[in-house]
Amino acid sequence: MRILVVGDGKVGHTLAESLTREGHDVVIIDRDEEVLQHCQDTLDVLCIQGNGANAKTLLEAGVSAADIVISATASDETNMLCCLIAKRLGAKYTIARIRDPEYNESLTLLQRELGIDLTINPERATAMEISRLLRFPFASNIEFFAKGQVEMVEFRALEHDSIVGRPMKQLAQYLPGIPRVLYAAVEREGQVHIPNGDFIIRSGDRVHVAGDMVTITDYFRFLGRDDIKIRKVMLLGGSRISYYLAKMIIPMGIHVTIIEIDPEKAADLSEMLPQADIILGDGTDQELLTQEAIENMDAFVCLCNRDEENLMTGLYAARQGVPKVIVKNSRVAYEEILSELGLDSMVSPRAITCNNILRYVRARVNGKGTAVERLYRLMDGKAEALEFIARESDPYIGVPLKDLHVRKNTLVAVIVRGNKVIVPFGNDHIEDGDRVVIMAGESGISDLNEVIRR
C-alpha cells in the first residue's frame, strides 16, 4: 500500500519504520530539513519537505494515489486540515492524531464533516491503559479482546507461585481446582516462547495468560495475587494523560492526588478536577513526596514529559513500598533493565498510538480476507496478539484444530462464540462469526488464513 505520513516526530518516525518493515511504500512529509535528512539516512522511504496541510505539497507526495494518509503533527488543527484536503484530493483513507480534550466531545462530528476515517488520541488511550492496570494491580499489562469478553494478562512468575517448576500438561493434575486459562506466551531472558505441554514456567518469567474475565479473576485469586486494592493514587505531573486518567478513576472510588510544578496548569486542574487534590510543587523532590505521604499510597503513576524523571521517581516510589508503580516511558531499551529493578508496569503513548494505527492499516491491506479486528504488540514488540472474525467462506470452518495446519510460532489462543469463551484444544473448531484470538511470535500477519489452513 502507498501510505503518506505527515509529521516526522516520534510517532511519525516509529510508524514509518513499522510500515516500511511490513512492506508498504511510505512517503514522509515534514517541514524540518534536518529531521527529514535523518529519516532518509535511517529508513527506506521517500521524504518530501513542506507543509502537510498544503495541497501542493500533498500532490507532490502523490496523495491522489495514496491508500492511507496519516497526519501526526504536533498540531491538531493541522492534522484535521491535512486529512480534509487529502480526502478531497483522492486519498482513500485518512487518520488524524487529535489530542486536545476540547475536541474530545465532538470527535464524531469532526470525523464525519472532515472525512476522517480514524482519530487517535494518544493521551486518552494511555490513560485507559493505566486505568486497567489500576483495576488489576497484580498485572504488568492487560489487553482486551472480543469487546471485553476476553482478557490477556501479563504477570511476572514468582518463586512461590504454584505454577512454577512443573510441565504445563501436569498443572491440572498437581493443582486440582486451578482455573483453566490459556498460557499464551512466555518471555524469558529476552526470548519469546509460545508454550506447549512440556514447557515449564520458571521464576522471573513474564507470562501471558488469556481467558474470560471471571476465569482470569479466579486464576489470580488461586495464585494469591488479589490482595492489593487500589484506593489512593498519586500522579506525578498534571499532563493531559493525568487529566484523562483522573476523570476515569475518580468515579471508581479512587482518591487522586496530582503533583504539578507549573502554577497555571495546577490552577486549571483544580477547576477541572474539583474532587482531586492538586499539589503545587516539584514531584521529583523526595522531601515533597515524603511530606505528601507517598508511603501510604496504593499506586504511584509517573507522567512527566521527561522519561528520566519518570524512571528515577518511579524507582524511588517502589523503594518506599508503594505496591503499584506505573511509569510513562518511550525508550524501549530501558524496559528490560527497569523490569529487573522492579518497574514492571510501563506505558508508552507512542507505542499505543502506533499499535492502533497499524491495526487499522492491516485491516485495509486485506479487505477481501479475514482482516485484523484488534492488534496488540507484546513483549516490546517481540510478539503480537491479533483478533479476527471468522467468515463462512474460510476453508478452516468446522474443521477440528488438530486437523489443520497452524503456522509455526503461532497459537490459536481463544475462540469466542456468542457469549461463550473457549480455550481451544485439538477437537475444538472454528465457526462462522467466531472471534478468534491468535498469538504470534512475529509481526506482519493481516489475515487469519495466513495462520491456519487445511
Q: What are the tens digits of pLDDT across the range 303-320?
A: 998 888 999 999 999 999
Residue 334 has pLDDT above 70, yes or no: no
Q: Roughly what angle, to the nearest 10 degrees, separates helices 107-114 and 76-88?
A: 30
Residue 41: C-alpha distances to residues 36, 339, 383 (Å): 9, 32, 27
- The rounded distance, in Å, linking the Cα atoms of 312 and 322 is 14
Residue 367 has pLDDT above 90, yes or no: no
Cβ 157 vs Cβ 204: under 8 Å: yes
Q: What is the pLDDT of residue 145?
A: 80
Q: What is the pLDDT of residues 111-131, one digit of tens each?
A: 888 889 999 999 998 998 899
Residue 253 has pLDDT above 80, yes or no: yes
Strand partners, 371: 447
> For a pLDDT cut of 90, what percent of the chain falls above it?
44
For residue 349, give every residue at least 6 positions away whose Cβ sits within 8 Å of its Cβ, in sequence order, or none. Answer: 122, 123, 125, 126, 241, 328, 330
- The rounded distance, in Å, linking the Cα atoms of 432 and 415 is 11
Residue 385 has pLDDT above 70, yes or no: yes
Domain 2-120 has CATH 3.40.50.720: yes
Most confidently modeled range among 48-52, 97-101, 383-387: 48-52
User: What band does 332 get if pLDDT is binned at 50, 70 and 90?
Assistant: low
Residue 25: C-alpha distances to residues 16, 21, 41 (Å): 9, 10, 16
- The rounded distance, in Å, linking the Cα atoms of 338 and 129 is 19
Supply the pTM of this predicted model. Answer: 0.76
Q: What is the pLDDT of residues 389-420, one digit of tens each?
A: 888 888 889 999 989 888 888 888 889 998 88
User: What band does 333 get if pLDDT is binned at 50, 70 and 90?
Assistant: low
Give the residue-averaged pLDDT of 139-159: 84
User: What band does 258 get if pLDDT is binned at 50, 70 and 90?
Assistant: very high
User: What band does 335 get if pLDDT is binned at 50, 70 and 90?
Assistant: low
- The rounded distance, in Å, linking the Cα atoms of 104 and 108 is 9
Q: What is the pLDDT of residue 49?
A: 92
Residue 366 has pLDDT above 60, yes or no: no
Pick the CATH number of 370-453 from 3.40.50.970, 3.40.630.40, 3.30.70.1450, 3.40.190.10: 3.30.70.1450
H-helix or E-strand spanning residue 211: strand 206-212
Residue 380 has pLDDT above 80, yes or no: no
Residue 252 has pLDDT above 90, yes or no: no
Cβ 394 vs Cβ 448: under 8 Å: yes
CA nearest neighbour of 245 among 121, 127, 123: 127
Query: Which range among 28-32, 177-181, 371-375 shows the weakest confidence by mean pLDDT?
Result: 371-375
Note the Cα 241 to chain centre separation in Å.
15
- The rounded distance, in Å, linking the Cα atoms of 28 and 30 is 7
Give the residue-averaged pLDDT of 367-377: 66
H-helix or E-strand spanning residue 187: strand 182-188
- The rounded distance, in Å, linking the Cα atoms of 32 and 232 is 44
User: What band does 336 get if pLDDT is binned at 50, 70 and 90?
Assistant: low
CB count, 10 Å around CB of 67?
16
Cβ 30 vs Cβ 47: under 8 Å: yes
The pair phi, psi for residue 413, each rounded to 5°, is -85, -50
Residue 236 has pLDDT above 90, yes or no: yes
Residue 191: C-alpha distances to residues 54, 131, 380, 411 (Å): 46, 28, 11, 16
Q: Tell which CATH architecture fits domain 232-322.
A: 3-Layer(aba) Sandwich (3.40)
Q: What is the pLDDT of residue 369?
A: 54
Q: Would you list the domain boundaries of the chain?
A: 2-120, 232-322, 370-453
Residue 45 has pLDDT above 60, yes or no: yes
What is the DSSP secondary structure assignment for residue 450, as one 8-state letter?
G
Residue 233 has pLDDT above 90, yes or no: yes
Q: What is the pLDDT of residues 53-100, one digit of tens each?
A: 999 999 999 999 999 999 999 999 999 999 999 999 999 999 999 988
Cβ 83 vs Cβ 69: under 8 Å: yes
CA nearest neighbour of 8 among 24, 40, 22: 40
Task: Say whether 232-322 and 2-120 share the same fold.
Answer: yes
The pair phi, psi for residue 27, each rounded to 5°, is -120, 130
Q: Which residue has the higher pLDDT, 191 or 167?
A: 167
Note the Cα 320 to chain centre separation in Å.
28
3-state secondary structure of 249: helix
Note the Cα 337 to chain centre separation in Å.
20
Average pLDDT over the chain, rounded to whole?
A: 88
User: What band does 364 get if pLDDT is binned at 50, 70 and 90?
Assistant: confident
For residue 242, give every residue at least 6 positions away whose Cβ sits within 8 Å of its Cβ, in sequence order, or none. Answer: 235, 258, 260, 269, 301, 303
Query: Which range among 164-168, 210-214, 243-247, 250-254 shows the weakest confidence by mean pLDDT?
Result: 210-214
User: What band does 370 get if pLDDT is binned at 50, 70 and 90?
Assistant: low
Q: To 5 degrees, how large is the angle CA 379–CA 383–CA 384? A: 110
Strand partners, 299: 233, 324
Pairing of strands 182-188, 232-236: unpaired
Cβ 317 vs Cβ 233: under 8 Å: no
Q: What is the pLDDT of residues 412-445, one digit of tens each?
A: 888 999 888 888 888 899 999 898 988 888 777 7
Q: What is the pLDDT of residue 106?
A: 83
Give the residue-averaged pLDDT of 148-173: 89
Task: Provide the grid cell at 207.
Answer: 507470562
Q: What is the pLDDT of residue 248?
A: 92
